[in-house]
Amino acid sequence: MGVTTVTDVRHTVSVDGPTVRASDPLSVLFQSEQGGHEQVVLCQDRESGLKAVIAIHSTALGPALGGTRFHAYASDEEAVLDALNLARGMSYKNALAGLEHGGGKAVIIGDPASVEQGGVKSEELLLAYGRFVASLGGRYVTACDVGTYVTDMDVVARENRWTTGRSPENGGAGDSSVLTSFGVFQGMRASAQHLWGEPTLRGRRVGVAGVGKVGHHLVAHLIEDGADVVVTDVLDASIDRVRVRFPQVTVVDSTSDLITGELDVYAPCALGGALDDVSVPALTAKVVCGAANNQLAHPGVEKDLADRGILYAPDYVVNAGGVIQVADELHGFDFDRAKAKATKIYDTTLAIFERASSEGIPPAEAADRIAEQRMAEARRS
Ligand SMILES: NC(=O)c1ccc[n+]([C@@H]2O[C@H](COP(=O)([O-])OP(=O)(O)OC[C@H]3O[C@@H](n4cnc5c(N)ncnc54)[C@H](O)[C@@H]3O)[C@@H](O)[C@H]2O)c1
């Protein structure tokens, strides 16, 4: 079953990475320096047990787009905070992906396992959630995220026209990892162009940590481009799949072995928080560019990378292939059209590096500024 992940990018409070910004929901909601949120909907359906939060950060560029996270939060406040932070992240991600979409996100509160398996997910609950999405009349477009799958979106879509990330049998685009990895590869080519003057990884040693859905496809792009690839993964099945298809790839035991070995490029493609106070000083690579969400473990890591002369391609910019795919699905999915859009991640990443260089700021900050500019221009017009 394909998983279409439209995940957050910045300032997550709980699931993806360790970045925690303690704050109460109302102050986050109205925080003016970050633009505040347009609308937050608290949803409850007593019959099915649904408890959900839909947060719309911005519709400046178009209907808010972002996935539905299903998670057993420690408290309702934490769930609201997560929705708020994830929705804001999607505004930035969608703006930089060049989409006509603002940022939004929903969270469903509870164990995402099915009722039969002891969780709370049921068809009735998903249909009730779909009716809440419908009630927003298109201001919010949903998709999969952690804890929700294409089969869930197929159910949610029965109640509204604003659900993407469905299965191909139901008009959806299916697995997003193909375009996500393609976008990461474009970001890596842009990094090579910026640093070494050539948009290719040919002859470079690239380390991929995590060869699951995205990492595996990324290895294929790198091999085709002539890179020397090293991988690591905690799952034998993931490693075996790479070994069979690409016997020339080197396998190492751990991420720590990977990053301390001689590398030109490090591609975190597993979990969030890969770049922290331990890993950054140990890195031998000159470029970090990977699919994992929330790679920066805490604010300030982007500066540590810059101080070490390591070029960081912001995660939410280079992993936007998935959201580009689900956005395309709204118009009847066309793989070539979506791929053409994902190709532009190359230009966007390059523009971010150029702005970072000219303004003397880390690329992560330059990316935020470009996104904010696009949203401000849209609001003015
Ligand atoms: N799938 C998408 O379209 C998409 C889109 C945007 C962002 N992302 C992000 O990219 C990352 C990878 O996504 P995916 O869909 O390939 O997930 P996946 O679950 O298919 O693959 C992740 C792989 O990482 C491995 N892994 C886990 N912990 C590890 C560790 N400590 N060291 C080494 N390997 C480890 C797993 O065994 C697995 O093989 C995630 O952070 C995800 O949020 C994915």
CATH number (domain holding residue 206): 3.40.50.720
Last residue of one domain, picked from the residues 155, 170, 185: 170
Residue pLDDT, tens place only, 37-56: 999 999 999 999 999 999 99
State in Å: Cα 147 to ligand 1 middle. 14
- Catalytically annotated residues: 105
Question: How large is the average pLDDT for residues 115-143?
Answer: 97
Which of 115-124, 134-143, 170-179 comes out lowest in average pLDDT?
170-179
Tell whether the model's pLDDT for residue 124 goes beyond 60: yes
Task: Give the containing element (helix H, strand E) for 125.
Answer: helix 123-135
Do 222 and 291 belong to one domain? yes
Q: Is residue 330 part of a domain?
A: no
Question: How large is the average pLDDT for residues 108-135?
Answer: 97
Q: Is residue 54 part of a domain?
A: yes
Q: Which residue has the higher pLDDT, 6 or 103?
A: 103
Tell whether the model's pLDDT for residue 16 goes beyond 50: no
Tell whether the model's pLDDT for residue 248 goes beyond 60: yes
> Up-side HSE of residue 366: CA atoms within 13 Å toward CB?
22
Do 160 and 243 belong to one domain? no
Tell whether the model's pLDDT for residue 79 goes beyond 90: yes
Tell whether the model's pLDDT for residue 22 goes beyond 70: no
Q: Is 33 helix (H, G, I), strand (E, B) or coil?
A: helix
Question: How large is the average pLDDT for residues 142-171?
Answer: 95
Do 163 and 198 belong to one domain? no
**Pocket lining for ligand 1, CB < 6 angstroms:** 3, 5, 7, 176-177, 180, 209-215, 232-235, 238, 255, 269-271, 291-293, 319, 322
In ligand 1, the atom with minimum distance to the C-alpha of 290 is 10
Is the pTM higher than 0.85? The answer reads yes
In ligand 1, the atom with minimum distance to the C-alpha of 214 is 16
pLDDT of residue 26: 79
In the structure, what pLDDT confidence band is assigned to residue 8 with cuts at 50, 70 and 90?
A: very low
Do 184 and 157 belong to one domain? no
Q: Is residue 19 part of a domain?
A: no
Question: How large is the average pLDDT for residues 224-253?
Answer: 97
In ligand 1, the atom with minimum distance to the C-alpha of 270 is 24
Q: Is residue 349 part of a domain?
A: no
List the structure tokens of 256: 């720590």
pLDDT of residue 125: 98
Tell whether the model's pLDDT for residue 4 goes beyond 70: no
Last residue of one domain, picked from the residues 137, 170, 203: 170
Do 152 and 208 belong to one domain? no
Task: Give, for ligand 1, the residue of 148, 218, 269, 296 to mutate: max count of ligand atoms closer than 8 Å to Cβ.
Answer: 269
Do 136 and 240 belong to one domain? no
pLDDT of residue 32: 59
210: Cβ–Cβ under 8 A, 6 or more apart, which residues? 232, 233, 238, 268, 269, 270, 271, 292
State the sign of the Cα–Cα–Cα–Cα dihedral 177, 313, 38, 330: negative
List the structure tokens of 66: 């972002």
List the structure tokens of 168: 């191909």
pLDDT of residue 35: 61
Do 206 and 156 belong to one domain? no
Single-letter residue type at 65: L
Cα angle, residue 261 at apex, residues 257 and 263 outer, rounded to 5°: 125
Last residue of one domain, picked from the residues 170, 191, 226: 170
Q: Is there a contact between 323 and 141 (Cβ–Cβ < 8 Å)? A: no
> Up-side HSE of residue 139: CA atoms within 13 Å toward CB?
17
Do 364 and 261 belong to one domain? yes
Question: How large is the average pLDDT for residues 328-333?
Answer: 94
User: How many structural domains is the chain composed of?
Assistant: 2
| Mean pLDDT computed over every residue of the chain | 92
Distance CA 118, CA 124 (A): 16
Task: Give the whole-number percent of the chain exceeding pLDDT 90.
Answer: 86
Task: Give the whole-number percent of the chain exceeding pLDDT 70.
Answer: 93
Domain span at residue 227 reads 177-319+360-369
State in Å: Cα 29 to ligand 1 middle. 30
Q: Is residue 215 part of an annotated ligand binding site?
A: yes
Cα angle, residue 328 at apex, residues 327 and 331 outer, rounded to 5°: 110
State in Å: Cα 22 to ligand 1 middle. 26
pLDDT of residue 33: 57
Q: Which residue has the higher pLDDT, 70 or 15?
A: 70
In the structure, what pLDDT confidence band is assigned to residue 174 with cuts at 50, 70 and 90?
A: confident
Tell whether the model's pLDDT for residue 218 goes beyond 70: yes
Do 111 and 241 belong to one domain? no
132: Cβ–Cβ under 8 A, 6 or more apart, which residues? 41, 43, 45, 50, 52, 54
Give alpha helix (H) positions in 97-118.
Answer: none
Q: Is residue 8 part of a domain?
A: no
Task: Give, for ligand 1, the residue of 71, 96, 180 to mutate: max count of ligand atoms closer than 8 Å to Cβ.
Answer: 180
Q: What's the count of helices (H) and strands (E) in the chain, helices before strands?
A: 15, 12
Q: Is residue 51 part of an annotated ligand binding site?
A: no
Residue pLDDT, tens place only, 258-288: 999 999 999 999 988 999 999 999 999 999 9
